Amino acid sequence: MIVKEFAKKNPESLIGKAYRAAKEAHAGQKRKSSEPYFNHSIAAAQAIAEWNLDEQSIAAALLHDVIEDTSYSLEKIKEKFGEEVSFLVDGVTKIGKIKYRGIEAKAENLRKMILALSQDIRVILIKLADRLHNMRTLRALPPQKQKRIALETLEIYSPLAYRLGMQHLAGDLEDLAFPYIYPREYKWLIKTVKEKYDEREKYLKSAEPILRSELEKNEVSVIKTDYRAKRYYSLYKKLLRYDMDVEKIHDLVALRVIVPDISDCYAALGVVHKLWPPLPGRFKDYIALPKPNGYRSLHTTVFCIDGKITEIQIKTQEMHDEAENGIAAHWAYEEKKGHSDYLARKSITAGTKELAWVQQLRNWQREFSDPDEFMKSLKIDFFQDRIFAITPQGSVIDLPVGSTPVDFAYQIHSEIGDSASGAKVNGKIAPLDYQLKSGDVVEILTQKNKKPSGSWLKSVKTGSAKNRIKSAMRRGIKTIIGEKYSKTELRVICDDRIGLLKDIMSIISRSHINMNGVQTGRSGRFVTIKIGCEIIDKTKIEKLILKLKRAVKEIKEISYSLK
Ligand code: MN
């Protein structure tokens, strides 16, 4: 369905009315790219229509920016378009206010907060449609803004799309953000792999007919075969783990075989392995054991013609559609059972009880949800027992409902908890037993040599705060975390230059951290440096990593492990 055409042909439908109202509200407004603002609203709504969402969602997508950018009010939306559309627009407006500015360790909490605040998957999907168009038109914005939005897309929105199983969208968002975040690496990658992609595809084209005729001989039916080229950003991330050596990436281009049903998948696999010997340990059965986001397929790596190492993926058409479109594919399959007419179609909140992806989403958050309980609709209710409070620096802290500033303090760091003397919530002094709400900005006031108070035990909710208060009281000393670890190993991958190691080491020693051992290795133009450090506190390690990344621009990637 083309939203614009549909709206014009059906002016009295919900979509038709929303179209007119949004067009009028944005009249005269321009995007930074100098096109009419309303084009953005249409683009977002068009994506929503392509993902097969209901008419309420399409109307809400058309109206998604009117609250923030025009004089149109939420009350008016409710009055003209009903409770549901106004709920969706309100949700999108609320999420729009959350900004991510690159505190890596807390990106996951921010993703959870967005899910919790949206309350309904459709709100996130409208936000994703909005973000997709913003990324496609990012060129028009000033560089500073480009970077912030691209980073937020990479760290927050693309992972959310991926978790919803929308692999295609997640890949689009990543590849749109990539050149803004890592311009030099992007150029290097394009230059390095362009030829390799073509070379691999040509090679696979010679292997494909051999496989086809072998499948035919063995009476395995095939719907189609094609080639899957690895997306740029996903390749870049993989290269970081493989010494930046493209030769080590076997799935740069994979041969994909689509068959009618699951038994054909395994039959085809047998034929492949009889034809070309598999590389030991590389076969993955994502049909029996799907990935956490629901991805299903058989992957195998074989010594193909001329002994070239090649990845082959085998799946059904349905698995393929699901992998590309996730949640949207489920609606498409639901739709085949009827309701293809938008005017007659009911809200998708009804009758979509046992969608696999809802189950997958719940698995993802299993630590927060009761496994016996069944999710009945698209409502995101698995966060009803969690709240998300924010530090003055913008990190999101995830806590159980009823948590106090003391829980918050211990969540940041045990020493901050131990020495907490008071708290400010949203800029105002609050008691230490105050019950925090989602979105509260919390600042902890500390005093040197202060000890935890036993009375805190009555109000704290987290087990970790309770344990630390008790043990600090028992011993009369500050608690120590991670006693069993003696040191941390930092692993740094970077571009080489003279004096690089010295710079890295001086930053570490200036942070008053003892080092005990350095190892370097080289592969191509990249070096890997391993440094043993005497820090065991995760917050400190993460701070150090941020500091290093900011100060040494050659650094591509840092990871750490406790020894
Ligand atoms: Mn927008």
CA of 365 to the centre of ligand 1 (A): 28
Long-range interactions of 214-218: CB distance < 8 A, separation 24+ = 214/271, 214/274, 214/275, 215/257, 215/268, 215/271, 218/267, 218/270, 218/271
CA of 41 to the centre of ligand 1 (A): 7
CA of 24 to the centre of ligand 1 (A): 16
Indicate the helix (H) or strand (E) that contains 311: strand 309-316
CA of 327 to the centre of ligand 1 (A): 22
CA distances 546 to 103, 153, 397, 552, Å, are 8, 19, 18, 10
Structure tokens that stand for 343 in this block: 């005017």
Structure tokens that stand for 467 in this block: 């344990």
Burial of 194 (0-12, 13-18, 19+ CB in 10 A): exposed
Q: Can you tell me whether residue 429 is helix, strand or coil?
A: strand
Query: 132, 175 in Cβ contact below 8 A?
Result: no
CA of 322 to the centre of ligand 1 (A): 27
Question: Positive or negative CA dihedral for 198, 203, 208, 209?
Answer: positive
Q: How many residues does the chain have?
A: 563
Q: Is 54 a catalytic residue?
A: no
Considering the entire predicted model, what is its pTM? 0.65
Report which of 125, 120, 148 is spatially closest to residue 135, judged by C-alpha positions: 148
Report which of 302, 347, 361, 295 is spatially closest to residue 324, judged by C-alpha positions: 295
CA of 9 to the centre of ligand 1 (A): 25
CA of 12 to the centre of ligand 1 (A): 24
> CA–CA separation, 263 vs 257, rounded Å?
13
CA of 367 to the centre of ligand 1 (A): 33
Structure tokens that stand for 214 in this block: 């072998």
Residue 529's CB is within 10 A of a number of other CB atoms, namely: 20
> CA–CA separation, 216 vs 103, rounded Å?
53
CA of 25 to the centre of ligand 1 (A): 14
Angle at 335 between CA 288 and CA 164, to 5 degrees: 50
**SS (HEC) of 35-63:** CECHHHHHHHHHHHHHCCCCHHHHHHHHC
CA of 64 to the centre of ligand 1 (A): 6
Half-sphere exposure of 267 (CA within 13 A, CB side): 17
Residue 291's CB is within 10 A of a number of other CB atoms, namely: 14
Active-site residue, selected from the candidate residues 50, 69, 243, 334: 69
pLDDT tens for the chain, 563 residues: list them: 899 999 999 999 999 999 999 999 999 999 998 999 999 999 999 999 988 888 999 999 999 999 989 999 999 999 999 999 999 999 999 888 777 766 655 677 777 778 777 778 889 999 999 999 999 999 999 999 999 999 999 988 998 888 777 888 999 999 999 999 999 999 999 998 888 888 888 999 999 999 999 999 999 999 999 888 899 999 999 999 888 888 888 888 899 999 999 999 999 999 999 999 998 888 899 998 877 677 889 999 999 998 889 999 999 998 898 887 776 666 555 554 444 444 333 333 323 333 444 444 544 444 333 333 322 334 454 555 777 788 877 677 888 889 999 999 998 888 899 899 999 998 899 999 999 987 788 999 998 878 888 889 999 998 888 888 888 877 654 334 434 455 788 999 998 888 888 888 888 888 878 777 788 887 777 888 888 887 767 788 888 898 998 889 889 889 888 76
Q: For residue 332, what pLDDT is reported?
A: 54
Query: 422, 445 in Cβ contact below 8 A?
Result: yes
Residues in contact with 325: Cβ distance below 8 Å, sequence separation at least 6, in sequence order: 51, 165, 166, 168, 169, 332
First to last CA, the chain: 57
Question: Positive or negative CA dihedral for 228, 229, 234, 238?
Answer: positive
Report which of 286, 308, 312 is spatially closest to residue 297, judged by C-alpha positions: 286
Q: Can you tell me whether residue 232 is helix, strand or coil?
A: helix
CA distances 387 to 234, 382, 394, 442, 456, Å, are 32, 11, 15, 13, 19
DSSP string, 123-135: HHHHHHHHHHHHH
Active-site residue, selected from the candidate residues 24, 35, 68, 198: 68
CA of 35 to the centre of ligand 1 (A): 14
Amino acid at 457: L
Strands 515-523 and 488-495: unpaired
CA of 157 to the centre of ligand 1 (A): 14
Residue 294 φ/ψ, nearest 5 degrees: 95, -5
Report which of 8, 5, 35, 39 is spatially closest to residue 22, judged by C-alpha positions: 39
Query: 234, 174 in Cβ contact below 8 A?
Result: yes
CA of 130 to the centre of ligand 1 (A): 5
Q: For residue 362, what pLDDT is reported?
A: 46
CA of 332 to the centre of ligand 1 (A): 25
Q: Is 68 a catalytic residue?
A: yes
Query: 204, 310 in Cβ contact below 8 A?
Result: yes
Strands 284-285 and 224-229: unpaired
CA of 407 to the centre of ligand 1 (A): 36
Q: What is the set of domains in the chain, with CATH numbers?
A: 3-181 (1.10.3210.10), 183-323 (3.30.460.10), 386-478 (3.10.20.30), 482-562 (3.30.70.260)
CA of 78 to the centre of ligand 1 (A): 19
